[in-house]
A and B are shown apart, each in its own frame.
Chain A
Amino acid sequence: MKHRSLFLKLLSALIVFGAWEIAGRIPVSYAFPTFLEAMQALLAMTLDGTIFVAYGETLKPLVVGVAISAVFGIGLGLWIGLSERFDWLFSPVFIVMQAAPLAALIPLLVMAYGIGLTSKVFVVCIMAMPVIVLNTSGAVRNTPSSMKEMATSFLASDRDVILKIIIPAASPVIFSGLRLGISAGFIGAILAELKITPTGVGDIITYSRSIADYPSMYAAIFSIIALAVIFLNVLERVENFLFAGNNRGYASD
């Protein structure tokens, strides 16, 4: 049964990449290289090291931005979840942010902070923060009251309730909020590189498009998507491993 699933995954990958190859060979567009050409370009970039330099550049704002969002987002989320007053004050802001196309703020950020790293970190932060805050506060608020009552009945202090009941109970949802935040952060990081200044992978994409080196362009896009997907998948596995049996399934986006 396990083999069947793997086999079908490989088969479907083969079909999709095969279709790409065929579409490239027809070709459907002068700007549509074949799968193999793109992979060759990716290999070339890997061998001469350009791709690693580019990722070093791209991941900088992502890592910094996600770290800031995680610290502030979880902190704020805990606070909102625990205090009714802060819930009233801050939740609406993040609910609106979650629904709103925050990418529209980018031109403003560029004006305010220039085209450097600061703006890019900001872009990552505004994309990643809302989901982290909302997941954390929601998880804290939804801690089963029977568990809290149990702790109180065994004479737990408020501090004990927070540290020993609420945070452990909320951690699976907080973690998945973090994962969704990183996913949004990837979107922000790439958006920043394409919109603000082409650096890193964004630079490869923009530059190879301008000189019509389409295989390289597709290779760069393929690699960043693959990287994001693999990384998020690993995170999900870690999540399932860490919180096995504790998964309360909390849909949020």
Chain B
Amino acid sequence: MTVFGLRLPGMSSLILWALLWEVVGRSGLTFFIPPISEVFLTLFGIIGTPAFTKALTETGYAFIGGVAASIVIGIPVGILIGKNRLLDEMILPWVNIFLSAPLTALVPVLMVLFGFGMTSIVITTTLFAIWIIILNTRAGVMQINRSMVEMARSFGAKPLEAFFKIYFWAALPEILGGVRIGVIRAVKGVIIGQLLISIVGFGALFELYSSNFLMSHFWAVLIVLFGMAFSISEFLAYLERRVAYYAAKR
């Protein structure tokens, strides 16, 4: 938007919202919304505390574990079903089912099978992230131009060589898109897992703050979490844009 001929940057309206928040917080309208300045003060206060560091490392561990598993399993599976019609017809329906299924319902099963610990949360995160990565990788592999495949063959590329030099790169824009959406889902998955299992990471922290009515602590953690989730997704979007120049011209 432009004001007085000045172009306002994309996310600048968030400042306006923060001001509104501050006003609502100061007016004492509701106990649940403390002024944002207070929230930020609390934020700097708790950022180094052991409880926060512990929650962050635990969450980070589960998140990275889940995302790594989804990428390591998801991309090869996606390539496999993109290249093999029989496997595609057998596996694709399941991928679609799990993509749209309310995976929250599976968390209790994971809890009884894998206990109330890190394993369950890592698996929850993986389950949230993996399906879209498989699906997008498959789409990326399937859109590879026929003449690109013929080019590889006519110049005598061996299958492995063709894969690493051509197919992977040709499918990269879609794969990155899948990873970006998968990572956003993983953030949600890791938090949902922690909320339901609630004795580790931010789940435990939320429980602690809300039961003690520490509102500004609660919001501070939320802001950190939202900020991190948003930064991760923007970073991946940036990577995606870096390969976008050839996505349209394959």
Contact = CB atoms under 8 A, between A and B. Distances in A.
Interface residues on B, range: 35 or more
B56 interface: no
Contacts of B202: 104
Interface stretch (B38-46, B72-80, B99-107): B99-107
A230 to B, nearest CB: 10
A190 interface: yes
Interface stretch (A43-51, A139-147, A160-168, A217-225): A217-225
B102 A187 contact: yes
A135 to B, nearest CB: 14
B14 A104 contact: no
B229 interface: yes
A103 B93 contact: no
Contacts, number: 153
Interface residues of A, number: 60
Given A12-B94, A107-B207, A253-B184, A221 B105 contact: yes
Contacts of B192: 101, 103, 187, 191
Interface in B89-132: 89-91, 93-94, 97, 100-109, 112-113, 132
A111 B213 CA distance: 9
Contacts of A232: 100
24 contacts: A4-B89, A12-B90, A15-B90, A93-B13, A96-B14, A99-B232, A100-B230, A101-B187, A101-B192, A103-B192, A104-B222, A186-B102, A191-B192, A194-B107, A194-B108, A195-B196, A221-B109, A224-B102, A225-B102, A229-B100, A232-B100, A251-B177, A253-B181, A253-B185
Interface of B: 1, 8, 10-14, 16-17, 30, 32, 86, 89-91, 93-94, 97, 100-109, 112-113, 132, 177, 181, 184-185, 187-188, 190-192, 195-196, 202, 206-207, 209-210, 213, 218, 221-222, 225-226, 229-230, 232-234
